Amino acid sequence: MTADGLLEADHEWVRSGSDYFARRLAELTEEDVAGDSLLPGWTRGAVAAHVVSNAAALRRLCHWARTGEETPMYASEEARDAEIARGAALPLGELRRLWTESRDALDGDWRDLPAEAWEAEVRTRHGRRLPARETVWMRAREVWIHGVDLAAGGSYRDFPPAVVDRLTADVLEGWRAQGEAVDLVLHPTDRDRPTSVGSSGPTVSGSAADLAQWLTGRGGGGLESSTGELPALPRWL
């Protein structure tokens, strides 16, 4: 697939993922928002506020790519945390309104980005340098994963197969970049072949979606390990 084709696929995954997130958010009640999400230590309200905040952060990267003026995703980790905490404390109706506004504003920034700006180098919150076009995949990843984190009945089995496979590749590449020593064999029962990670280790079998959900730290339901126990995994982001 060409770079333009991949970018268009990423945009489609953002559109469908945003619809998915919106449906999950619409299923929550005011009481639900204060409850636990699937993201350890986070309430559902905090997850929703984070997705709103992420849209604003990616808009800053769009500004950087368009103007050349360095505008980091967040002024600091403290500023990011405070932004999420403020959003999490809002009434559900207000949080839903902010979600819609932030989604539409980011879409507008992408739509207005000149062709050459898509290749401009920006930097993620963790310091990784990448072309601005990768912000689209970053957003797709956020809305799909955090739609599940809202704990409103979703799972990675709802994801398009291509999104599942790209998430898995993201995790493995993240471990390599961080120098993590992970040894296992991933055996997705609905894909053509297993994937070896490292030099040895147990074989973990299950659907590609269930494997991706486990790799990203959201539980290991539906999986089997050749040792009878799922190995501990490092963080991927």
- Return the number of other C-beta atoms located less than 10 Å from residue 114's C-beta: 9
Query: Are the CB atoms for 234 and 175 separated by under 8 Å?
Result: yes
Task: Tell me if 223 sits within 8 A of 214, measured CB to CB.
Answer: yes
Residue 146: name the closest of 8, 7, 18 by CA: 18
pLDDT, position 16: 98
Q: Give CA–CA dist 18/140, Å, rounded.
A: 8
Q: How do residues 90-121 score in pLDDT, each as one tens digit?
A: 999 999 999 999 999 999 999 999 999 999 99
Of 195, 207, 204, 206, residue with least CA distance to 230? 204
> pLDDT above 90 covers what percent of the chain?
91
Taking the C-alpha atoms of residue 33 and residue 150, their distance in angstroms, rounded to an integer, is 9
Q: What is the mean pLDDT of residues 5-22?
A: 93
Q: pTM, whole model, 2 decimals?
A: 0.95
The pLDDT, as a whole number, for residue 1 is 42
pLDDT at residue 200 is higher than 90: no
Domain 3-154 listed as CATH 1.20.120.450: yes
114 phi-psi bin (left φ>0, alpha ψ -120 to 50, beta other) = beta
In this prediction, residue 162 carries a pLDDT of: 96
Question: What pLDDT score does 81 carry?
Answer: 96
Residue range(s) occupied by CATH 3.30.1050.20 in the chain: 162-225
Residue 5 has pLDDT above 70, yes or no: no
Q: Is 47 exposed, middle or buried (0-12, 13-18, 19+ CB in 10 A)?
A: buried
> Start-end ranges of CATH 1.20.120.450 in the chain?
3-154
221: left (phi over 0), alpha (psi -120 to 50) or beta: beta
What CATH number does the domain located at 162-225 have?
3.30.1050.20
If one compares 53 and 199, the residue with the highest pLDDT of the two is 53
